[in-house]
Copies of this chain bind each other. A is one copy, B any other.
């Protein structure tokens, strides 16, 4: 994109953890909130999910300072039935809500085979994959979903209705990293429009629309994203977004995403009332572990041995992310100048040691 080679600064995983955790604690959060946000942001940044990684910290600090997010929430879990529960997140961090809900769901799945938790009164939780992954770290299949404020058209409609409503799904695989699908139900995320706009690049066709709902590839004209499937098959992406919406907001007693305050503000003081849904499945509740792992191994071998198109690779969901994680764990996590400067400002504002380059 540019003729001079841009070499981003890099930060080691431990140092990034230190910085995020200290920043949040200095903003008054309790340790559980700081730990959860740090874990989620660093997990996303290590995997290369930069849209949901370290870049979000300055936003979260604003939300804390404005009062939208409570620094010391009193989250309350109610186990309503043996396999289900509701977590009232008390307007705290969505990341703490997510990890807390997954822990309860894992416990229930150990006991009765499946556990599911609907979370209400929550906030942005970063990357959905973090929570699905947390279940797989316990040997479980995990699913995570979340609604958001409207960015995405319904099929055949002119104006945004659903959020990018992500679905994440993680399966523990012996001897390798989990099978991890973490996808928005739109074709592209909202921040890709902004990124492409910033570098003067046009969007792919069939992924975004202008204020009249007409397809556009010009980032400046984009008023909404199309659901996965585009202008012709977007009823599928929109339907999946609806599943996420119903499980995340309706089942938790929250408002649907169309009625949510926008993530970006300007109101940074009113809690948004986001909902999440988490489902944890114990594989051994259906078949024995050895059979399950043998089946998974065969499936992944069959998948990996399909011939690829020229200059392409056939990957399982997550493979690209695990590769990125190995590289970033070794070389450090790259930070562009905007993020580096934002972190420098944060360090001064909250009074902690600045981020050390690796």
Which residues of A line the B interface, CB within 8 A? 80-86, 111-114, 116, 118, 141, 154-159, 161, 167, 169, 171, 179, 181, 183, 187-188, 204, 207, 213, 228-230, 232-233, 235-240, 242-243, 245-247, 249-256, 258-259, 281-283, 285-287, 291-292, 295-296, 298-299, 302-303, 306-309, 312-317
Contact = CB atoms under 8 A, between A and B. Distances in A.
**Count of identical protomers in the assembly:** 2
A287 B253 contact: yes
Contacts of A247: 141
A116 B228 CA distance: 28
A169 to B, nearest CB: 5
A309 B251 contact: no
A102 to B, nearest CB: 15
A312 B230 CA distance: 15
A83 B113 contact: yes
The 9 closest A-B CB pairs, nearest first, are: A81-B113, A84-B113, A156-B312, A84-B285, A250-B295, A181-B239, A82-B112, A118-B286, A83-B114
B228 A229 contact: yes
A307 B158 contact: yes
A161 B303 contact: yes
Contact of A306 (B161, B169, B207, B302): B161
Between A111, A155, A255, the greatest number of chain B beta carbons within 10 A of the residue's beta carbon is seen for A155
Contacts of A296: 246, 250
A157 B239 contact: no
A213 B309 CA distance: 7
A243 B169 contact: yes
Contacts of A233: 187-188, 207, 228
A314 B155 contact: yes
Nearest to A259: B302
A158 B306 contact: yes
A306 B111 CA distance: 44
A82 B82 contact: yes
Contacts of A251: 281, 283, 286-287, 292
Contacts of A213: 307, 309
A81 B285 contact: yes
A306 B253 contact: no
B292 A253 contact: yes
Given A112-B112, A158-B306, 7 more contacts: A82-B83, A83-B285, A157-B314, A158-B309, A169-B243, A229-B229, A251-B292
B306 A254 contact: no
A328 B64 CA distance: 56
A124 to B, nearest CB: 20
Contacts of A317: 235, 238-239, 242
